[in-house]
Amino acid sequence: MGDILITDDERDIRELVGDILRDEGFSVRLAANSEECMGAIDDEKPALMILDIWLKDSAMDGIDILKSVKRDHPEIPVVIISGHGNIEIAVAAIKQGAYDFIEKPFNIDQLLVVIRRAMETSRLRRENTELRRKDVSTAEMIGTSAAFKALKSQLDKVTKSNGRVMLTGPAGAGKEVAARYIHANSNRSTAPFVSVNSASIEPERMEEVLFGRETNERGVEPGLLEEAHGGVLYFDEIADMPMGTQSKILRVLVDQQFQRVGGGEKVRVDIRVISSTNRDLEAEIEAGSFRQELYHRLNVVPIRVPGLEERREDIPELAVHFIEGFNTSQGLPQRELSDDAVALLQTMHLPGNVRQLKNVIERVLILGENSDPILPRELEGVERGETEDGRVVLSGALATLPLREARELFEREYLLTQINRFGGNISRTATFVGMERSALHRKLKSLGVVTSSKAGSRVAHIEDAAQAAE
């Protein structure tokens, strides 16, 4: 967080305010006239300004400085100090965008209250802008693989309806992104998208958070259900919802109304519910930890979000998207990816899916070298099974096998990964691995690797495993 810039031509006042704010834990800079003040802003943008209206021996007075700051840095809150009886000027300053004003001689407690409030308002404003930005970017769905196109066309079919959707798929695969996509393309897009992370709310507070509260002292405090009115309520990992809350949500879905905690009146809301899980809810029902009836109510349109494993072709496009995103949002370097780095990303084990890919990219941009392009060595060695000096680490199983079997095991894993990386396309795989197409076919056959269609894209797997699954 930046500091507070105090501009006052009266040395005693400027130093006194400075000392008090320092004692309160703020860092401060002092300016005696308009030149020092503008110079200090150019050096480093302050988090807040305290500005005297009358400045002796200055090219600009306080109002001129205020106008210039509001034009160039509208986000900096400015608190004006005005002389006693200068109310009109103070009001004019507020019209020019000052956050508040205090009159001389002022009481220091009063000044501290105004400063704290101004800091808090500006923090909330920043967070809001951040959230809006996040909202827009999370509604973006990047990917062109067959599996991803199949997902998108399923999502497109449900945007216009009001049907409850249950998104399933592994952690970090993009279930929330898919839910936001439905919302952004539906006729509810101008109403809120409210996300409920069932795991992060303490079970005993769950009902208050969802349904809101009514007390004599504080009146009505709306919950997330009311906040989502007209829009979408997204239950992230629905399996984490406590059983008691599950019954209450079920009742809301049946009755279309509910009561706030401590309240008597029935509240009606118009919400579309989208939920997600990476667990097997049918097994949770069997185990008695999820209500069957709620499952049926929520699972009207089930949609599976494929893990990154099934759409490795999307990795280059996603990686570039994240590099650009981190450049815009955090000013991280805009770097190119070398072909080898792309190949490595596409073959890496990424159990955390798109989220993990995003983290890998962020880490490289923060910790990596500052030259172009990004090289494979920057993408942590351990993730490709190598030690720092580039030697391959043998897994326990591999190390105990004779060479021929070990080589077979390696070849099978290697080719499976490569085929999946190229979306099941044998010609492209053959070119990359440096084999004739027909030789590759023979090799795959001898290793028992087959390809088949899954969710619209071709995936490779081991023959026996496929048969076992059927």
The interface with ligand ATP within residues 348-367 (CB under 6 A) comprises: 354-355, 358
Q: Rounded distance, CA 427 to CA 437, Å?
A: 6
Q: Contacts with ligand ATP: how many residues (CB under 6 A)?
A: 20
Candidates 2-10, 170-178, 183-191, 204-212: pick the segment binding ligand ATP (CB under 6 A).
170-178
Cα separation, 95 vs 114, whole angstroms:
17
Element (H, E) at 190: none
Question: Which one of 77, 172, 223, 424 is in contact with ligand ATP (CB under 6 A)?
Answer: 172
Footprint (CB under 6 A) of ligand ATP, residues 289-328: 321
Q: Which of 177, 253, 320, 426 binds ligand ATP (CB under 6 A)?
A: 177
Question: Interface with ligand ATP by CB under 6 A: which range of 168-176, 215-223, 289-297, 423-431?
Answer: 168-176
| Cβ-based neighbour number of residue 225 at 10 Å | 23
Q: How far is the CB of 278 from ligand ATP (least distance, A)?
A: 5
With H, G, I as helix, E, B as strand and everything else as coil, classify residue 420: helix
130 binds ligand ATP (CB under 6 A): no
Among 52, 236, 310, 313, interactor with ligand ATP by CB under 6 A: 236
Query: Which residue in the shown chain puts its C-beta closest to ligand ATP?
Result: 174
The residue range among 175-183, 222-230, 411-419, 438-446 that interacts with ligand ATP, by the rule CB under 6 A, is: 175-183
Q: Which one of residues 140, 324, 336, 436 is an interface residue with ligand ATP (CB under 6 A)?
A: 140
CA–CA separation, 255 vs 179, rounded Å?
Answer: 24
Q: Tell me the C-alpha distance between 85 and 181, whole Å.
A: 56
From CA 336, how far away is CA 12, in angstroms rounded? 55
- Taking the least distance from each CB to ligand ATP, the nearer of 62 and 325 is 325
d(CA 143, CA 23): 53
> CA distances (Å), 392 to each of 360, 398, 402, in order?
21, 12, 17
Closer residue to ligand ATP, CB minimum distance, 89 or 177: 177
Contact code string over 257-276 relative to ligand ATP, x by CB under 6 A: -------------------x
Q: What are phi and psi of 235, to 5 degrees?
A: -95, 105
Q: Does residue 111 belong to the site contacting ligand ATP (CB under 6 A)?
A: no
CA dihedral 205, 283, 309, 327 (to 10 degrees): -10
The answer to whether 141 contacts ligand ATP (rule: CB under 6 A) is yes
CA distance 73 to 45: 8
Backbone angles phi, psi at 24, to 5 degrees: -85, 0
Give least dist CB 244 to ligand ATP, A: 23
Q: Applying CB under 6 A, does 175 fall inside the site for ligand ATP? A: yes
Q: Tell me if 213 contacts ligand ATP by CB under 6 A.
A: no
Nearest to 295, CA basis, from 310, 271, 309, 279: 279
Which parts of this chain interact with ligand ATP (CB under 6 A)?
138, 140-143, 169, 171-177, 236, 276, 278, 321, 354-355, 358
